[in-house]
Amino acid sequence: MKYFFLIYAIVAVSVVGIFQYRGHSFNEPPIQLLPDMDDQDVLKAQKQEAFFADGQGARKPVAQTAPRGFQADGKTKLGGIPEYEFSGGTGYYFTGHIGDYFGTGMPEELKLTAENSRELLKRGEERFNVYCSVCHGKSGDGAGVTSLYGVPGIANLVSSPYSQATYPDGRLFEVITKGKGNMSGYGYNVPVRDRWAIIAYIRALQTARSAPYELVKDAYEAGKKEQEAATSDK
């Protein structure tokens, strides 16, 4: 599995070399090893279609479905989360931008205090472990499970290029939302507030990595004991 992608690339290039590529002149339809949904059974809007008993190509939504933003009862929540938390808002909280630039720092909309900041970090840790750690690793060093299978370009989030000084929080927010390189966007999966929680946790990982041992000694020792206790229970 480690060299799967390399072997796959070699085979793909060989096949393209033998069968040529899309765009070349053919007398017959080209061979499509990966159609990528090029050919779909779709109908033009307002066109009649004999396939359906009523002859109408335009169809009503499937029963029991609720398109986002068009719930019949006017509700605007998806799984208990306000719909605007996934998209559609403006300003720094929803985009990561302040004018034409990336902003930095936690948005005012989070209404952070000394009491609830810890809660936000815990939420960020939880969401990071669910969505991010498989690639970036639980410590953010880019050594997640996917790195064992040769997936390239995984960012080491605790390295200096991704520090707050060189990589603003707003830029992190946009990458989480829209994706970058091999990483898909999570704008449709992770609510806005959780994206900021993940960013806060990433900053905490960076601080912990660069902090002097004396400042993190107590937390390190407590975590070590917790791990040892969990191991001994198994």
Task: Please check whether residue 158 is in contact with residue 128, taking contact to mean a CB–CB distance below 8 angstroms.
Answer: no
pLDDT of 23 reads 57
pLDDT by position in tens, the chain (length 234): 567 777 777 877 776 666 555 555 667 766 777 777 777 777 777 888 888 888 888 888 788 776 555 555 555 565 566 666 776 688 999 999 999 999 999 999 999 998 899 999 999 999 999 999 999 999 999 999 999 988 888 999 999 999 999 999 999 999 999 999 889 999 988 989 999 999 999 999 998 887 777 777 777 787 778 777 766 765
- pLDDT for res 76: 59
CATH of region 81-212: 1.10.760.10
Determine the residue type at 185.
Answer: G
Which residues 6+ apart lie within 8 Å of 123 measured at CB?
Answer: 194, 197
Boundaries of every domain in the chain: 81-212
pLDDT of residue 202: 97
